[in-house]
Structure 1
């Protein structure tokens, strides 16, 4: 039936998500070994400067699809989040805990947002809050998020989880507030978009060079959000103009399989980079090798997604769902699952 036909994928969203996820993977390759030979130079400095782009963009893009998800009944909404958000979080959190010698499977607190999977944990919180506030229009949800952000930015401890939850709630619910408008946007070049892009770039230059503002979210949450606004705005404007083109098919593909690249890359990079610490291939060689290996492995996993055991790493096995939920919930989860994102605390 035409009414049940899902809307076409927004390719520019896939491409922008793919860019953000690859930037997260680069960041992790640079920080895992904590090697001073890696943490300097243009690549490191650029990666540090892009802190205001990576995670805010991923949260913003995840929020864009919230209005569509909230149109579903409560049951399919919850099952959708379980299928493609909570389940892969638990699976890859288990793998991360096994890899980390200082963490324990038996400590409940170690299953929280203390590693690279914090992005997915935060999304679980935001989707739960959105379900409670589903009677509100998205713009009102954004107002609630902004209020919470201001309060937490003042009273919460610097760098704490509540403070960070407040920061990225702004971006997630900003995406939700923009969801309806962006759903109708067709990708392509226009002079209006070019002017918007130029204005965002100019604002970003002013923020960084004139005001000298930091892009570190743990230094000052208000400064971080202020600096991130023109950065994310420029990225979205550029993606709308260019990223829907077929030349960006590889990035679109990464973004489409973002949950795989986000969850699996860290488990590949850690043993390689850490394992090469005391060898002749430590430092920059290990970082490059870890990054390339994670891209290859994640690409293979994406290509093998149709294999049941591979799919079960990233999505709750559909055959275990009630049939009624299987029809409604899985589509919701597919549309709203994180593509991403993670990064460690400093992503």
Structure 2
């Protein structure tokens, strides 16, 4: 007889537990990908963790974009002014601030490129995002486009799916990633109610859900050796099909793990600070490892540095609350298009 006791899906604060779990899974895998890639490039050596990173590519970004789109319906009914103030201004603020911090590390005005090099690279990042913060840039674009096309959302979903059959490969981040991932964001918005209802049913039938997850896991692992890192350049339609399957897998995984790993849920609830700041401990930690002569196995080092790169932003986020440095993760009160009630939350900590 199937188990019928649902997992707690709405923890304190009205959040949906499995959504936080899914975001936690995806954000950690994003950090792992960047950490491992940077380490391997620095030492000129691959590691045993690469197959897992290749496998996760099938659902890492499609899942994160779909989960981010689930609550678009709460915003599209707002006026444009309220919509921009509620979502777009905070995202743009965080991108501009943290991209400046990123650029200062990569192209310091006191370095070889000088002040002009810093300004040029920062200006380029306003048009074509590069580095780890491209997701924030694209998420901002996705929200604007979703609201603009919401009246014709079903037709827009069909068009975005057609674009995702063969994503662009121009070398420019915005058109390439837009055609690859907007379909998942918009699908999360259009089918939000159906997805949440399906998750509730899956949570109420854990045995069946576990069987479905096992089947998905086996098939997704089998796909990895054949496609792996070449998913984006595979035959037309493969990217979309793997993304759809990957989204199903991340949803099943999230429902099964919801409420069972509190630290994972906490990462999901605070995915924005992690994404904004993880490059700081990642870069510093890599430099330290290299100066120590890289005493660890590359795969083990990647896991250790991933844990540090996730933990440090979370700690920083807590430490700066209520201090003059709170602007790092909270939009300043003056940067608002509308008057706000005292104590009203500006923007959540989740992507």
* TM-score, shorter chain, exceeding 0.5: yes
Partner of 2:204: 190
Instruction: Describe the SS at the equivalent of 2:278.
Output: helix
Residues 160 and 222 of structure 1: CA distance in aligned 2, closer, same or farther (over 3 Å): farther
Q: TM-score of the superposition, structure 2-length normalised?
A: 0.79
User: Aligned pair 1:104/2:118, yes or no?
Assistant: yes
1:317 CA drift (Å) = 0.7
1:209 CA drift (Å) = 3.0
Please say which of residues 123-132 and 200-209 is displaced more in the overlay.
200-209
Alignment of 1:131-150 (within 5 A): 131-137=147-153, 139-150=154-165
1:78 CA drift (Å) = 0.5
Partner of 1:51: 57
User: Aligned pair 1:304/2:310, yes or no?
Assistant: no
1:338 CA drift (Å) = 5.5
User: Aligned pair 1:225/2:232, yes or no?
Assistant: no
Point out where structure 2 has 5 or more consecutive residues left out of the alignment. 1-11, 108-112
Alignment of 1:75-86 (within 5 A): 75-86=81-92
Alignment of 1:1-347 (within 5 A): 8-33=14-39, 34-35=41-42, 39-41=46-48, 43-101=49-107, 104-107=118-121, 108-111=123-126, 112-137=128-153, 139-150=154-165, 153=167, 156-157=168-169, 160-161=172-173, 162-184=175-197, 186=200, 189-191=203-205, 194-195=207-208, 198-199=211-212, 201-202=214-215, 205-206=218-219, 209=222, 213-216=226-229, 217-220=231-234, 222-243=237-258, 245=259, 247-281=260-294, 284=298, 287-288=302-303, 290-304=305-319, 306-324=321-339, 326=340, 333-334=347-348, 339=351
Preserved CA contact (<8 Å) 1:27 1:47: yes
How far apart, in 2, do the equivalents of 1:287 and 1:196 lie? Answer: 31
RCO higher in 1 or 2 (8 Å CA, sep ≥ 6)?
Answer: 1
Q: TM-score of the superposition, structure 1-length normalised?
A: 0.80
Deviation string 1:17-55 (CA, Å, 9 cap, x unpaired) is: 0111111112222111314576321x2321221111211
1:222 CA drift (Å) = 2.7
1:291 CA drift (Å) = 2.5
How far apart, in 2, do the equivalents of 1:25 and 1:286 lie? Answer: 13
Please say which of residues 158-167 and 107-116 is displaced more in the overlay.
158-167
Preserved CA contact (<8 Å) 1:15 1:252: yes
Deviation string 1:122-160 (CA, Å, 9 cap, x unpaired) is: 1111111112113234x333223113334x63xx33665
1:183 CA drift (Å) = 4.4
How far apart, in 1, do the equivalents of 2:223 and 2:316 lie? Answer: 45
How far apart, in 1, do the equivalents of 2:275 and 2:61 lie? Answer: 12
Instruction: Describe the SS at the equivalent of 2:191.
Output: helix
Residues 76 and 232 of structure 1: CA distance in aligned 2, closer, same or farther (over 3 Å): same
Deviation string 1:255-294 (CA, Å, 9 cap, x unpaired) is: 1111000110012211220343243236637545533332
Residues 249 and 286 of structure 1: CA distance in aligned 2, closer, same or farther (over 3 Å): closer
How far apart, in 2, do the equivalents of 1:314 and 1:251 lie? Answer: 20
Please provide the CA RMSD for this pair.
3.1
How far apart, in 2, do the equivalents of 1:178 and 1:332 lie? Answer: 26
Preserved CA contact (<8 Å) 1:208 1:227: no
Please say which of residues 88-97 and 294-303 is displaced more in the overlay.
294-303
Preserved CA contact (<8 Å) 2:160 2:182: yes
Instruction: Describe the SS at the equivalent of 1:106.
Output: helix
